[in-house]
Amino acid sequence: MKMLANAKCVARHARLDFLPMLFGDDFVLAEQHMFNYAQRFCCDYDGGFWQFYTLPNGGGYMAPNAERVVFSSLNGFEAEISGDAAGMILTALVLNHRCWLHHEQGDDELAEHFILRAEQLRSAIDDHPESHAIRQALD
């Protein structure tokens, strides 16, 4: 599977700490949004195990444990990509969605947390072997 070379897979014993690190106090709903977005945008997604990855800059992302995924987004992008690339796209979409939601609700602290995590993820996209497809899906 193509994946980001400098991302580190979260060890089994550290998985419970990952979601609060990535999504802050909103981690329960944000994780559910990840699964909902996967069902919406990944053809043939029917659940399963997800890998958690941390980035050297302090960010991270979740990725379905799938070799290849057919990803179809609202902007017309459709392609077969790695599960890792799909995870980066899905995480970016959820971070953006939750940021706007918390901004609208007046929770500036959580909105800032999501902005930081989105910026950290965006800065890592160019290092991914499928960066062009990831950017097309997010455009």
* Domain range annotation of the chain: 8-138
β partners of residue 68: 82
Whether 55 and 7 have beta carbons less than 8 Å apart is answered as yes
Averaged over successive runs of 10 residues, the pLDDT of the chain (139 residues) comes to 80 96 95 96 91 96 94 94 96 95 91 96 94 95
β partners of residue 69: 81
pLDDT at residue 2, as a whole number: 61
Q: Which tokens belong to 121?
A: 């993820």
The CA-atom distances, in angstroms, between 125 and each of 103, 107, 119 are 25, 27, 10
- Residue pointed to by tokens 């043939």: 44
Please name which of 94, 79, 80 lies closest in space to residue 19, comparing C-alpha atoms. Answer: 94
Q: Name the CATH code of domain 8-138 (choices 3.40.50.2000, 3.30.70.270, 3.30.70.2170, 3.30.70.3580).
A: 3.30.70.3580
Instruction: Provide the whole-model pTM.
Output: 0.94
Alpha carbons 110 and 113: distance in angstroms, whole number: 5
